[in-house]
Chains A and B, each alone.
Chain A
Amino acid sequence: MPLESPTLPVLLAEFPFEWNYIRSIIVVSLYVSITAVVLSTLVSIPVALLVGFTDFHGKTLVTSIINTGMGFPSVVVGLLVLFTVSNEGPLGSWDLVFTTEAMIMSQFVLAAPVITGVSLAAVSSVEQNVRDAAFAMGGTRTDVALVTIKEARYGIATAVLAGFGRAISEVGSVLIVGGNIASADGTSVTRTLTTAIQLEARQGRFETAMILGTILVVLVLIVNAIVVRLGNGGGGRYG
């Protein structure tokens, strides 16, 4: 193990030898977070549309539950998911503990309220007369929903990004349910960038931790750029 006082050039020179390790950590991080965010989005957007469109008894309550969920502590989510997937929990027979699936579950629970909450705000802010106009032109409920989504797409993109940010930068719950496992051949099984940073910091290798941190920030920037670009596709902001 390289243990001499790590200066940045030395570390960078050593990194190519661990490239498989770094790459596998990035792959696991992205796989877990993107899967969780896609699943959350599939659930959250319909919920946001449903809550946003309809007036019903207890709407305020539902909204405040969603908003509370946005700030729910991730380590608590990790514990709850651990109890669920642990051998003695309700899903014990599925053998999910210390797997990426369990990590996806916890990140889903973390990201879904964020995506729902922010989308709900975006959908609600689409002016009523846009929807009325869509109805007046003979649109079905689906048409109205599509128009609203189109109008609210920047808000929804922001929601997805916020959910992704929460998922990929989260360390507490993935550490608890994933176990921070790397295999002996030096590739990640359930190790993410955040848990790897935690491990490096624990061992006092702050420079390596910092490099991993930089990679994490760059990844988040890249994903944000891609989503913003997708949002702009199809002919500009008012297209």
Chain B
Amino acid sequence: MTIQRRQFVAAVGGVAAAGLAGCTAAEGDDDAPEISGETLTLTTTTSTYDTGLLDELNAPFQDRFGVTVDTVSQGTGAAIETGRSGDSDVVMVHARSQEDEFMEEGYAINRRDLMFNDFVIIGDADDPAGIGGGDDAIEAFQAIAESESTFVSRGDNSGTHTQEREIWDEAGLGADDFGEWYQEAGQGMGEVITQTGQSGGYTLSDRGTYLSMITETDLEIHVEGPVEDGPEILSNPYGIFAINPDVHEHVNYDLAMAYIGFLTSLEGQRIIEEYTVEGEQLFFPEALSEDPNFAQYVPEDWTGGESDD
């Protein structure tokens, strides 16, 4: 199919552009780019927005290129859907399975690993299910279910919700096993943390949002993620990708690639590394690596575009 070839060419070109954009960003701003004055629409998850990280990243990007970044924070599911309809130019989310699906459908191109942090199981300080100090997320979920302690789920198809379902799956528990103790909030992480605090239960949170709310909540971390040597199932990688201009002609592809280039450049990665709340680092840069990980550009198990649709 010609479309496949066009997509391939676009992908290669895009990676080159990302590299160039990264160089431009590193060298300085003597080379006035043509994208000046334009507006980039970014859809992203509530976690990157609510922690305040995006403000730190967007300000220098806007200054350097003379552009505006409009950030719309939604759940991962909604952020991807907004990209699917071509209403955003670039998407930053944390649910690899959904990102892969989106790439396979041809909507997303030039995906880059951006950064990671981890999920933590937080809950009431009394710890009614007795999971505190454990280092197995699956066992912890099983203990919560067994003791029928309140568990507040995002229930909004976000990246965190996707991860939560995966852990329940691994724990061998599903919708049939959930009683009244399992509550779907259908809201953002911050609201869910507040709600969990009110009901004295447990929830799964990304560490960043939890830390950014640490003064507003009495909840404590009971099971740590990989950042504190916890289990790998609690890792929380963020990816960023551009919307395919071959699918949606009008998207601002050049600016999207400049943005991806900036965030994955030395400067962008340093901002991510140095961003702290209450003295704690929230995100860990992942774009710069001695060992290139080519799997980040294509969906896992990708067969070279031989899908039959």
A residues adjacent to B (C-beta < 8 A): 1, 3-5, 86-88, 92-93, 95, 97-98, 179-186, 189-190, 201-205
Contact = CB atoms under 8 A, between A and B. Distances in A.
Contacts of B11: none
Contact of B187 (A3, A184, A202): A202
A203 B212 contact: yes
Interface in B51-88: 52, 54-55, 58-59, 61-62, 68-73, 85-87
Nearest to B188: A202
Given A182-B71, A184-B62, 15 more contacts: A1-B52, A3-B215, A87-B85, A87-B87, A181-B70, A184-B58, A184-B59, A185-B62, A190-B70, A201-B191, A202-B50, A202-B191, A203-B50, A203-B212, A204-B190
Contacts of B216: 5, 203-205
25 contacts: A1-B212, A1-B277, A3-B214, A3-B215, A3-B277, A86-B85, A86-B87, A87-B85, A93-B250, A95-B250, A98-B72, A179-B72, A180-B73, A181-B71, A181-B72, A182-B71, A183-B69, A183-B70, A184-B55, A186-B55, A201-B191, A203-B50, A203-B212, A204-B213, A205-B216
B272 to A, nearest CB: 15
Mostly helix, strand, loop or mixed at chain A's interface?
A: loop
B278 interface: yes
A145 to B, nearest CB: 43
Top-7 shortest CB links A-B: A204-B216, A179-B72, A87-B86, A184-B58, A202-B190, A184-B59, A203-B190
B281 interface: no
A98 B41 contact: yes
A124 B216 CA distance: 54
A37 B9 CA distance: 50
Most buried by A among B46, B190, B278: B190
B259 to A, nearest CB: 12
B59 A185 contact: yes
B165 interface: no
A88 B247 CA distance: 11
B255 interface: no
Interface of B: 41, 46, 50, 52, 54-55, 58-59, 61-62, 68-73, 85-87, 187-188, 190-191, 193-194, 212-217, 248, 250, 277-278
Contacts, number: 75
Nearest to B216: A204
B86 A204 contact: no
Contacts of A181: 70-72
Contacts of A202: 46, 50, 187-188, 190-191
A176 to B, nearest CB: 10
A4 B69 contact: no
Contacts of A87: 85-87, 248, 250
B62 A5 contact: no
Nearest to B59: A184
Contacts of B58: 183-184
Contacts of A183: 58, 62, 68-70
Nearest to A1: B52
Nearest to B52: A1
A97 B87 contact: yes
A92 to B, nearest CB: 8
Nearest to B43: A179
Nearest to A181: B70
Contacts of B41: 98
A46 to B, nearest CB: 35
Nearest to A92: B86
A4 B278 CA distance: 9
Given A86-B85, A88-B86, A204 B193 contact: yes
Contacts of A88: 85-86
A202 B54 CA distance: 17
B144 to A, nearest CB: 23
B138 to A, nearest CB: 29
A59 B230 CA distance: 69
